[in-house]
Chain A
């Protein structure tokens, strides 16, 4: 019978506050996440198994099972080509990014420390520059007849290159823009990683007679591993979702012969130009699986390497 008082107490304002107020205060995130994160995610999973044109309105979808996935995985479909384009542009832009960013960060950290602030700002600028501005500038650089690149090439007797017109050139031209845009971002990441490494280690190495190269190879690289893992993961995810740069440079078709059509662009076209939402959703999930697999591979390679040392 003594319980009788307990429920009454739970209705008091103080009890209510203690019990529910925290949930109320954290709720904005969960509400926003549910509306803008979880719902689209589940809706797209639902759509991946349906045939639906948005013009037919909500509810007028047709269940097609795995047809959309079969369509994307079919041998002749554009999805494979777009995935191949995405991987190729990703490799062309991603690998040089890290090959340049890491030594650059090392040099700035050890030799140009006085200019570190200035250099970080300069390197970071491309990353925060508006994609439209970038597209306009690079379209002008790449212009076949009016561009600076071909003009300079012409001075040393080179034939004009169709940077954005020749399907074989398109991946390189796009990759160069992506490289330019993100190399600074990676450098800044590595710089902050370097700053976390204690000077004592380097001093001890100097005492032991290690040269600059040995310091880089035996101290910097191993101690930067967590940051490298982080930067690699970001590059992989970013490359696989590449959209802005090729879209602004080449328009929605992906340029000559679709040579610059990335998976994200193909999905966008399928959804908003062809109005085939189901097929676009299925491809989005396949792209997600591809990114997931590559991130896991990255994870595995890093942890296996770590185990050896």
Chain B
């Protein structure tokens, strides 16, 4: 059966080449700012395949993923190429509506070694199907305001050594400059639960679907304890991300450090705080923690009409060095393709970061990031734990009790 199918597809592909002049319209569904990268790459694609018109359907982030979920549920209105953000790729991988790229005619196994390794695990389902090709990644990094640290006489290397030294430095910064250490104590919790995971261990579940959250898990106890220490010492500004206060803190330097994906540099430079050019620096996360912080993928729905052209398009977006560099230059999308990371643009200094050669640092961080097992119940666990963390921080709930309650709630929902 498989052979017949492969033969049929090969014939179709040959026919496709034979009728090269035949007009094809390929539907690509994406979200901002990936759509901007696609638009930037389109001229190169059109030059190569003048007969294949790309119909780009871009929607807002949440709308796009809701629309794709509905389309996969009903099998109606599916695009030929589907962009998926990292927060959804684990869930989409567990569903049955996307092509397994491991099998013929895609045979994507040969390309896997060309990408930053941890992205492959993210797009692989528990039963080993590989459903999407990575296009960009978000290496986790530690932003700090050099001017604020200098004023406080704090050495950034000390802040990176351990969480304890990070908090101690925060106390100095607060005392000497009045600036807060971090936007919210929850940020430190979020980094601490995501770093230094053992092989086969996910954030909330291990590779065998065992729930890891609980009062006996040292990683969660420590993460919540650190957050509590920061809150009790008055070191966090208690402001949420993507709020007016957050942008204002960046502009005024009232918060000294921020953990984020490398992409934050582009956002700071372009719209959040362009006037702070030269004041920021980056380094690796504390305690040699490496974490992935964002990323995008392309997949082919099983019910897509133009699978062979969809695959050609995905290969052009992800495996073509030129496309990856174009996307990087367009909006700072950090290439998932290792070869593209070797481009000379990466060793150029970043003016916004005071001429620091930050991209080299991010490249190394991405290479050192270990694959994390994703689970379809991650979002449920995440929400329940965020609520319990607030109970700990705002209402003085006991950490062990909060983790025991979280464990009970997650276990009920993860069926």
**A→B interface (CB under 8 Å):** 51, 53-58, 60, 67, 71, 74, 76-78, 139-140, 143-146, 162, 165-167, 253, 256-258, 269, 272-276, 279
Contacts and interface: CB of A to CB of B under 8 A. Distances in A.
B96 A57 contact: yes
Given A77-B412, A253-B386, A145 B245 contact: yes
Contact of B394 (A51, A76, A167, A269): A167
Given A57-B72, A76-B405, A146-B244, A274 B390 contact: no
A258 B380 contact: no
Instruction: Give the interface SS of chain A, mostly helix, strand, loop or mixed.
Output: loop
Interface of B: 66, 69-70, 72-75, 91-92, 94-97, 238-240, 243-245, 248, 376-377, 379-380, 383-384, 386-387, 390-391, 394-395, 405, 408-409, 412-413, 415
A143 to B, nearest CB: 6
Contacts of B244: 139-140, 143, 146
Given A56-B96, A276-B413, A257 B387 contact: yes
Contacts of A78: 384, 387, 409
> Which one of B70, B390, B409 has the highest number of Cβ atoms from chain A below 10 Å of its Cβ?
B390
Contacts of A273: 379
Contact of B395 (A54, A58, A167, A279): A167
A58 B73 contact: yes
Nearest to B302: A57
Contacts of A279: 413
A71 B410 CA distance: 11
Contacts of A257: 387, 390-391, 394-395
A308 B376 CA distance: 58
Given A55-B92, A274-B379, 4 more contacts: A53-B91, A55-B97, A143-B244, A146-B244
A53 B409 contact: no
Nearest to B68: A55
Contact of B95 (A56, A58, A74): A56
A270 to B, nearest CB: 8
The 8 closest A-B pairs by CB, nearest first: A55-B95, A54-B73, A257-B390, A258-B387, A274-B380, A76-B409, A55-B72, A54-B69
21 contacts: A54-B69, A55-B73, A55-B94, A55-B95, A55-B96, A56-B95, A58-B73, A71-B413, A76-B408, A76-B409, A77-B409, A140-B244, A143-B243, A144-B239, A146-B245, A146-B248, A256-B394, A257-B394, A258-B390, A269-B383, A274-B413
Contacts of B75: 57-58
A256 B92 contact: no
A279 B380 CA distance: 13
Contacts of A56: 95-97
